[in-house]
Amino acid sequence: MMDILPLFYYPSTWIYTDDDKTLLKCMTAVFEEYNNVKSFQSSKVCLDFLVKNQSPLSKYNFLKSIFNDESYGRLQHTPIDFDVTMLASLVNDPNRHNEITALVIDYNMPEMDGFSLAQACRHLPMCKLLLTGTAQDSQVILGFNKSLIHRFVQKSQVDMEDTLISYLKESSFLYFQKISAPLLSYLETESQLPLSDPVFINFFKKYCEQQNINEYYLIDKQGSFLCLNKQGHRSCLIVHSDRSIDSWLLAYGVEDELPSDELLMVKNRKKIPFFGIGKEAWEFNPTDWPNYFYTPHVLQGRERYFWAVLNL
């Protein structure tokens, strides 16, 4: 898959099933340091839960057909309305953390072995990681080659815990990345976004690490994000490019009420506009616009990006 930033990401739920009660308790405690965990000692009980479980994201419909669009009904057109600001509404959903993004399965279990469990829930979108003590089991390798199992880890390896945690973090990221890919393709119909620029992706990942940010939500078509750190503090990473600033100036820069020196600051990229999540300049008195201008940093990637942080 192409390396992109997910349009949204937040702590989710990992499922862990193992018939060894002691190991189940110990590993669950390890996993809980990083994410929500739901554990099962019975593979059949686990499968029953997974089959009946409903994804919290399933109730959201981010892409909506525009039935009254003049192109609607033409074979070569699929009119779509995508309100980017809807993504930020996920932050208010208390059930969002129940999204299951990974399944860790012990291979040797009495009721149903781990490979059979992986096969039984192969239609479910979470990544499946198999714990095995059998080094060269043909079924495990076959399951991996057929993508029924996305990773397998030997219980005997010295760094088993660290390896599992690394795989689980990667699995959660990939889960949201897969959901985001078709949404991003709609957003990039006119032009590419920073979310597919390797330079910006690398910058954003480091920014999240440095600021202890563990969830984020895209809030506009420029690439700005609503961010939450591990303490729940909210901030906005405001992002613009030369193109988005020029577009803003074309739309609003001719207002007579806007002081010319303030307008010049935007033209010269000394300031970037941001009026709030889901807010536009026309909703405010032009004389107040300078209150929503921020001094940016510059990041050179596929194009020039101008970014600033607003604490909420």
Q: Is position 196 within any domain? A: no
The predicted structure's pLDDT at residue 204: 97
Residues 175 and 242 reside in one and the same domain: no
Whether the pLDDT of residue 275 is over 90: the answer is: yes
For residue range 160-201, list pLDDT tens digits in order: 889 999 999 999 999 999 999 988 988 888 788 999 999 999
Please check whether residues 185 and 226 belong to one and the same domain. no
CB 238 within 8 A of CB 272: yes
**pLDDT, mean over the chain:** 86
Ranges 74-78, 121-125, 134-138, most confident = 121-125
Report the number of distinct structural domains present in the chain.
2
Mean pLDDT to the nearest integer, 249-273: 80
In a shared domain, residues 147 and 28 = yes
Residue 60 binned pLDDT confidence (cut-offs 50, 70, 90)? confident
Listed in sequence order, the DSSP H helices in 188-303 are: 198-210, 242-252, 260-267
Q: Which of 160, 189, 218 is the last residue of a domain?
A: 189
Query: Residue 66: is its pLDDT beyond 70?
Result: no
In 10 A of CB 254, how many CB atoms? 9
Q: In the predicted model, is pLDDT for residue 96 greater than 90?
A: yes
Residue 145 has pLDDT above 80, yes or no: no
Q: What is the DSSP letter of 235?
A: E
In angstroms, rounded to a whole number, what is the distance separating the alpha carbons of residues 72 and 79?
A: 6
Same domain, 275 and 183: no
Q: How many CA atoms lie within 13 A of 65 on its CB side?
A: 9
**Helix (H) and strand (E) counts in the chain:** 8, 15
* Model pLDDT, residue 140: 66
Same domain, residue pair 250 and 173: no
> Residue 297: pLDDT above 80?
yes
Whether 172 and 232 share a structural domain: no
- Same domain for 231 and 179: no
What is residue 290's three-state secondary structure? Answer: helix
Beta bridge partners of residue 51, listed in sequence order: none
Q: Which domain holds residue 50?
A: 9-189
Cβ within 8 Å of residue 95, ≥6 positions away: 56
Residue with structure tokens 């965990």?
37
Report how far residue 155's alpha carbon sits from residue 88's, in angstroms, rounded to the nearest whole number: 40
Q: What is the pLDDT of residue 74?
A: 37
Q: Tell me, what CATH number does 179's domain have?
A: 3.40.50.2300
- Report yes or no on 195 lying in a domain: no
Q: What pLDDT band is residue 286 in, cutting at 50, 70 and 90? A: confident
In this predicted structure, the answer to whether residue 80 has a pLDDT above a threshold of 80 is: no
18/160 same-domain check: yes
The label of the residue with tokens 């001719």 reads 254
> What's the pLDDT band for 111 if we cut at 50, 70, 90?
confident
